[in-house]
Amino acid sequence: MGRKLQIDIMRYNPLDENSVPHMQSFFLEEYPSMTLFVALTQLRETQDPSLQFDFCCRAGICGSCGMVINGRPSLACSTQTRDLPAHITLHPLPIFKLIGDLSVDTGTWFRSVGTRLETWIHSNAEFDENAIEERMEDGLAKEIFELDRCIECGCCVAACGTARMREDFLGATSINRMARFHLDPRDNRTAEDFYEVIGNDQGVFGCMGLLACEDVCPKELPLQDQLGIMRRMLAFQSVKNIVPAFLRDKMTCGHDKCGHK
Amino acid sequence: MKGSVSCATVAKTTVSGRVDLAQAVTGVVLALFTLMHALFVGSVIISPHIMNGLAWILEITYIENIVGPIILVIMLAHFLLAVRKMPVRLGEFSVFYDHAKRMRHCDTWLWLVQAITAVIVFVLVSAHVYTIMMNLPISAEASALREQNGWTCFYLTLLICVGLHLGIGLFRVGVKYGFIKAENRSVWVKRTWLLIAFYVALGIVTIIRFHFIAV
Ligand code: SF4
Ligand code: SF4
Ligand code: FES
């Protein structure tokens, strides 16, 4: 016999003039291995067809089901109700544009950040379609892939106190993205180039090290470490010209990659 | 090739990075000074003579005259550098507060502690340094007199706020600059709390000791 779940959901439809944000309680019987995805779908099918929320892959891959679950951003499809108390509260992710109820538009945010930071490989090499793809060390490829696993769910941004206070803060996901290109030997951008886009209070220097991003990322990306690496590199970049040469050599980040640039 | 960035671009401004580094460096310097200061004053626990001896060294080397104002300036600088991160508008504060409440996330709460202790420390330290500079030279008896004349609450508040601000601040610098990594984070969390506990405990014992010095 499953528990009786009480699920409080924030309801609001921005398109409806008469709609005011409010919490609505739903009741549902839990069964084994029920996820929030299953629970919400059941609510919509059996209790309220107007309930809005997003799902796509249902397997923690697409990043569309991010929502605030009992106060913390997480993926609804990978959250089992048995790991939650019988009283569950759901809010939409803050910061992103609300579409309705639990559904938010993360796409526009990520696209605009991606365009602004130019999150693609910047190469000066002439493209030769007949050439064999350049080889990459296995270790490096894995390192890059580790950072590439971000599914752009927006949880880290929604969990970040800085992002909540400062609308223009780029968030851990974007800095992680840049770290990924910084690692990639095919990208010709230098520390100066990176400094120009994220060497400011909207980027690395805005982060206050609250580590909420690290703690909520459902894909467990190494956000804390990447933020540290990028901040150190870019802070060094800003004083490179005023530190004495012998110190400068000692302080250069020791990353093989920087040598090649 | 289209969309490529020339390697010749130079950073337009280095200000953000330097400001950030300066905030970290001034913070660490202040923390180190504060810890030395705690040990110095704490020497009174063993004996007022030791504290007076150390004070005498500081006096004849003019360190007390020089260091006081320098520390004040560094503190002012640190405050001004860090204030850009503070929830200056009421809206920001309440957003952050609601956020922390909902998230139930320790590090997020600690940042609020950091912002609040910053203001308290700034005010109290200014008063503290002012009275010290007005009553030079430093001596165990002068400090004991202050403690016994109703300054104990003032110093207890200052002690706790400085302890928290210093410990959390050092931890935060470690995180921000990648010295504290995900793998050793829990160890450093423990060390941070130990440092805060040590600092506050030492301070409390010192204050108690001052109450037992005849003046
Ligand atoms: S870094 Fe993690 S939390 Fe942030 S968007 Fe990517 S997967 Fe989501
Ligand atoms: S560590 Fe930085 S990016 Fe991550 S939640 Fe904290 S302030 Fe935001
Ligand atoms: S539905 Fe794709 S991540 Fe949850």
Chain B residues touching chain A at CB-CB below 8 Å: 1, 3-5, 7, 9-12, 14-21, 84-85, 87, 92, 95-96, 99-100, 102-105, 107-108, 110-111, 172-173, 175-182, 185
Local structure of residue B83 (DSSP, 8 states): G
Residue B32's CB is within 10 A of a number of other CB atoms, namely 12
Compare all CA atoms of chain A with the CA of B107 and give the residue at the minimum distance: A210
In this structure, how many other beta carbons lie within 10 angstroms of the beta carbon of residue A165?
A: 21
Q: Please report where in the chains the tokens 């690496």 appear, as a residue.
A: A229
Check if A219 has its Cβ closer than 6 Å to any atom of ligand 3: no
Same domain, A184 and A238: yes
pLDDT for res B12:
61
Shared domain check, A48 and A122: no
pTM: 0.83
**Is residue A261 a part of any domain in this protein?**
no
List the pLDDT tens digit at each of the 261 positions of chain A.
Answer: 689 999 999 999 999 999 999 999 999 999 888 999 999 999 999 999 999 999 999 999 999 999 999 999 999 999 999 999 999 999 999 999 999 999 999 999 999 999 988 888 888 888 888 988 888 899 999 999 999 999 999 999 999 988 888 888 899 999 999 999 998 888 888 888 888 888 888 888 889 888 889 999 999 999 988 888 889 888 888 887 777 666 666 655 544 444 433
Q: Are residues A144 and A23 in the same domain?
A: no
Taking CA–CA distances from B21, the nearest residue in chain A reads: A235
Residues A124 and A245 in one domain: yes
The residue segments making up the domain with residue A188 are 118-249
Would you say residue A108 lies in a domain? no
Are residues A77 and A152 both part of a single domain?
no
pLDDT digits (tens, 9 = 90+) for A60-100: 999 999 999 999 999 999 999 999 999 999 999 999 999 99
Alpha-carbon distance of A157 to A218, in angstroms, equals 12
- Residue A60 region by backbone torsions, left for phi larger than 0, else alpha for psi between -120 and 50, else beta: left
Indicate the CATH number of B19-211 among 1.20.1300.10, 1.10.3720.10, 3.40.50.300, 1.10.10.10: 1.20.1300.10
- Compute the distance between CA of residue B72 and CA of residue B128 in angstroms, rounded to an integer: 11
What's the rounded Cα separation, in Å, for the pair B64 and B122?
Answer: 20
Whether A140 and A47 map to the same domain: the answer is no
* Contact across the interface for B20 and A212, Cβ inside 8 Å: no
The number of residues making up chain A comes to: 261
| Half-sphere CA count of B62, side-chain side, radius 13 A | 2
Q: Does A153 touch chain B (CB under 8 A)?
A: no
Q: How many domains does chain A have?
A: 2
Residues A126 and A91 in one domain: no
Residues A27 and A146 in one domain: no
CATH number of the domain at A143, please: 1.10.1060.10
Within-domain flag for A258: no
Distance in Å, alpha carbon of B168 to nearest chain A alpha carbon: 11
A72 and B10 in contact by Cβ < 8 A? no
Q: Looking at the structure, tell me whether residues A188 and A86 fall in a common domain.
A: no
Domain of A51, CATH number, reads 3.10.20.30
Identify any residues that bridge with A5 across adjacent strands, giving them in sequence order: A28
Q: Do residues A73 and A177 share a domain?
A: no
Residue located via tokens 């004053």: B41
- Are B14 and A205 a contacting pair at CB < 8 A? no
Q: Are residues A17 and A95 in the same domain?
A: yes
Classify residue A257: in a domain, yes or no: no
